[in-house]
Amino acid sequence: MLFVPIILQTGRRLLRCMFLLLVLHCACPAVHAEDRAIDTMLDATTSYFKPLQGSILSVEGKQVAVNIGAKDSVKTGMRFQILRKEAPFRHPVTKELLGNLESLVGKLQVKEATEDAFTGIIIEGDAKAGDTVRISGLKINLLFCQSRDTDWQLAEYYYRRLKDTGRVQIIDTALETDKPEEVLEEARRLNADVALLVSTKKTGDEIFLTQKLYWVSDGLQIGSMEAKIDQALEKELSIGEKFFTVEKHQPLTQFDVPAAAKFLIMCDVDGDGKKELIFSTGTDLIVYALDRDLHPALGGITIQGSTRDHHIWIDSADINKNGKDEIIVTSMKGSTVMSNNEPTMKSDDITSSIYEYDGKAFILLYQDNVFMRKIGDKLFAQPYSRHLGFAGDVFNLSWEGTLKKGDALTLPGGVNIYDFIFFEDPEAGRLLLAYDEKGYFTVYDKNGLKLWKSKTAAGNFLTTFRKDASSAMVDRGEWSVKDRLLFRQQDILYVQRIPFLDMIKGFGYKKSRIRSLRWNGFSMEESIVVDGVDGTIMDYAVTSDNIFVLASPLFGIRAGNILKGENLVKKELSVYPLKGI
Q: What are phi and psi of 360, to 5 degrees?
A: -130, -35
Domain residues for 73? Answer: 52-135
Residue 157 burial (CB < 10 Å; 0-12/13-18/19+)? buried
Residue 245 belongs to a domain: no
Residues 126 and 161 placed together within one structural domain of the fold? no
Mapped onto helix, strand or coil, the DSSP state of residue 453 is strand
User: DSSP for 182-237?
Assistant: HHHHHHHHTT-SEEEEEEEEEETTEEEEEEEEEETTT--EEEEEEEEPPHHHHHHH
Residue 267 belongs to a domain: yes
pLDDT of res. 246: 40
Beta bridge partners of 565: none
Integer Cα distance of 77 and 98 in angstroms: 34
pLDDT of res. 556: 54
Q: What is the CATH number of the domain that holds 155?
A: 3.40.50.10610
Q: What is the DSSP secondary structure assignment for residue 334, as one 8-state letter?
A: -
Residues 370 and 412 placed together within one structural domain of the fold? yes
- Pick from 107, 135, 163: which residue ends a domain? 135
Residues 106 and 146 placed together within one structural domain of the fold? no
pLDDT of res. 334: 64
User: DSSP for 389-426?
Assistant: EE-S--EEEEESSSEEEEEEP---TT--TTSEEEEEET
Residues 57 and 43 placed together within one structural domain of the fold? no
User: DSSP for 41-103?
Assistant: HHHHHHHTT--EEEEEEEEETTEEEES--GGGT--TT-EEEEEEEEEEEE-TTT--EEEEEEE
Residue partners of 459: CB distance under 8 A and separation at least 6: 439, 495, 496, 497, 498, 499, 509
Residues 222 and 264 placed together within one structural domain of the fold? no
Residues 262 and 208 placed together within one structural domain of the fold? no
Scored b (16 or more CB within 10 A) or e, 365-403 reads bbebebbbbbbeeebbbbbbeeeebbeeebbebebeeeb
Integer Cα distance of 211 and 117 in angstroms: 29
Residues 406 and 479 placed together within one structural domain of the fold? yes
- Pick from 237, 267, 283: which residue ends a domain? 237
Residue 450 belongs to a domain: yes
pLDDT of res. 199: 92
pLDDT of res. 581: 55
Residue partners of 313: CB distance under 8 A and separation at least 6: 263, 328, 329, 330, 371, 372, 373, 418, 481
Residues 125 and 209 placed together within one structural domain of the fold? no
Q: What is the CATH number of the domain that holds 450?
A: 2.120.10
pLDDT of res. 263: 96
Comparing CA positions, the residue from 354, 425, 426, 432 lying closest to residue 394 is 432
> Considering its fold, how many domains does the chain have in total?
3
The CA–CA distances, whole Å, from 444 to 131, 434, 448 equal 83, 8, 5
pLDDT of res. 444: 97
Residues 85 and 215 placed together within one structural domain of the fold? no
The CA–CA distances, whole Å, from 32 to 25, 142, 225, 229 equal 10, 24, 20, 11
Residue 451 belongs to a domain: yes
- Cα within 13 Å of Cα(76), Cβ side: 7
Taken in order 393, 462, 511, 264, is the CA torsion positive or negative? positive
Integer Cα distance of 16 and 14 in angstroms: 5
Mapped onto helix, strand or coil, the DSSP state of residue 437 is coil
Residues 27 and 97 placed together within one structural domain of the fold? no
Q: What is the 3-state secondary structure (H, E, C) of 248-264?
A: CCCCCEEEEECCCCCEE
Residue 5 belongs to a domain: no
Q: What is the 3-state secondary structure (H, E, C) of 249-316?
A: CCCCEEEEECCCCCEEEEECCCCCCCCEEEEECCCCEEEEEECCCEEECHHHCEECCCCCEEEEEEEE
- Pick from 109, 135, 161: which residue ends a domain? 135
Residue 541 belongs to a domain: yes
Residue partners of 178: CB distance under 8 A and separation at least 6: 147, 148, 149, 197, 199
The CA–CA distances, whole Å, from 480 to 43, 347, 392, 462, 477 equal 60, 11, 16, 8, 10
pLDDT of res. 235: 65
Residue 259 belongs to a domain: yes
pLDDT of res. 56: 96
Residues of the chain with pLDDT under 70: 1-34, 174, 231-249, 292, 334-348, 468-476, 500-507, 555-569, 579-581
pLDDT of res. 26: 39
61: left (phi over 0), alpha (psi -120 to 50) or beta: left
Residues 73 and 184 placed together within one structural domain of the fold? no
Q: What is the CATH number of the domain that holds 79?
A: 2.40.10.410
pLDDT of res. 175: 78
* Backbone Cα Rg of the chain: 30
Residue 9 belongs to a domain: no
Contact 103, 158 (CB under 8 A): no
Scored b (16 or more CB within 10 A) or e, 439-474 reads bebbbbeeeeeebbebeeebbbbbbbbbbeeeeeee
Interhelix angle for 152-164 vs 36-47, to 10°? 50
Residues 430 and 488 placed together within one structural domain of the fold? yes
Integer Cα distance of 545 and 260 in angstroms: 27
